[in-house]
A and B are shown apart, each in its own frame.
Chain A
Amino acid sequence: MSYSRVIPIFAASFAVIYVLAVEFNWAVVTYHPRLGEWEWLTKPAKTGPAMYWFGWLITSFVAAGAISLAALPITGRWTPPVWIGWAVPLAVMLGFVYLLRSFFLR
């Protein structure tokens, strides 16, 4: 069993989970910068804005790690193609350009 075989799966699943986390606001933590307060899970803004980016990152790392571990037994008899590890993130990056198009199209 080689851990390096699941790395392309980690990169691809990280990107997909990240875009889902941003779209559906799946944040493990919320930070309130004005108050300097951290809260578990997605919480609305209190005084000043709420920041979810840290929470989206943690969600993505944990979920992609779990998916990679779950895929580990399969990779004993199947080697995931390396290209999914860069093609999926590239597609997600292009997806973000589309999702954020309102900033650029007026």
Chain B
Amino acid sequence: MITTLLIIHGLLAVALLGSITHQTASTVWPAKSAGNFLVSFRGVSAARYTTTNIVLYVIVAVLGAIIYPAYRLAVRPFLESARLLTINGTFELKEQFVAIGLGMLPLYWLVWRTPLDPKLSGARVAVTSLLCFVVWYSFLVGHVLNNVRGLFGR
């Protein structure tokens, strides 16, 4: 059961990662015209990603919360016994960053509310970039931890 939830958690995290990266790229570095792959990647209608990103963020966080006790009982003791202090610390940061991101979701919705307020363009860049960082950081840490025995097992 936990393994199934972990896989769903990871798959939805991939969807969120792609969705919020598209939105961030098109917000921070808007495409002026059609062009190659990179330009097309940035040339999306950023506001359309907002609701999906909020829903995905909440679902991924809830799934993470459900599987968290299994991590606490099985993975963290391994990290402590193997003295993988840095890896342990990266997860401690992840749980705090994800929580702060949850508290920012209403603001994220506000700055992306349509019709877009031009006065909030700076806030859109800041809020979206910050959430994008949280999602990327969490994904990478989760991915490393998922493979921690293979990567760092002794």
Chain A interface residues toward B at CB < 8 A: 4, 7-8, 10-11, 14-15, 18-19, 22, 31, 33-34, 48-49, 51, 53-54, 56-57, 60-61, 64, 82-83, 85-87, 89-90, 92-93, 96-97, 100, 102-104, 106
Task: For B97, list chain A residues within 8 Å (CB).
Answer: 93, 96
Which of B92, B93, B104, B127 is packed against the most chain A CB atoms within 10 Å? B104
Task: For A102, list chain B residues within 8 Å (CB).
Answer: 89
User: Is B103 in contact with chain A by the CB < 8 A criterion?
Assistant: yes
Chain B interface residues toward A at CB < 8 A: 65, 68-70, 72-73, 76, 85-86, 88-90, 92-93, 95-97, 99-100, 102-104, 106-107, 109-111, 113, 120, 122-123, 126-127, 130
Measured between alpha carbons, how far is A71 from B84 in the docked complex, in Å? 44
Measured between alpha carbons, how far is A10 from B68 in the docked complex, in Å? 26
Measured between alpha carbons, how far is A20 from B90 in the docked complex, in Å? 20
Task: For B100, list chain A residues within 8 Å (CB).
Answer: 14-15, 18, 89, 92-93
Q: Contact: B103 with A60, CB < 8 Å?
A: yes
Task: For B123, list chain A residues within 8 Å (CB).
Answer: 82-83, 85-86
Task: For B93, list chain A residues within 8 Å (CB).
Answer: 96-97, 100
A95 to B, closest residue via Cβ: B96
Q: Contact: B73 with A85, CB < 8 Å?
A: no
Q: Contact: A56 with B99, CB < 8 Å?
A: yes
Q: Contact: A96 with B85, CB < 8 Å?
A: no
Task: List 13 additional contacts besides A8-B107, A60-B103, A64-B103; criterion CB under 8 Å.
Answer: A7-B106, A22-B96, A49-B76, A51-B68, A51-B72, A82-B107, A83-B123, A85-B127, A86-B126, A89-B100, A93-B97, A100-B92, A103-B85
Q: Contact: A53 with B99, CB < 8 Å?
A: yes
Task: For B88, list chain A residues within 8 Å (CB).
Answer: 103
Measured between alpha carbons, how far is A18 from B65 in the docked complex, in Å? 16
Closest Cβ of chain B to A99, distance in Å, is 9
Measured between alpha carbons, how far is A93 from B123 in the docked complex, in Å? 17
Q: Contact: B103 with A15, CB < 8 Å?
A: yes
Task: For A56, list chain B residues within 8 Å (CB).
Answer: 99
Which of A7, A48, A49, A61 is packed against the most chain B CB atoms within 10 Å? A7
Cross-chain pairs A/B with CB under 8 angstroms, 9 sampled = A10-B107, A53-B68, A82-B120, A87-B126, A89-B103, A90-B126, A93-B130, A100-B92, A104-B85
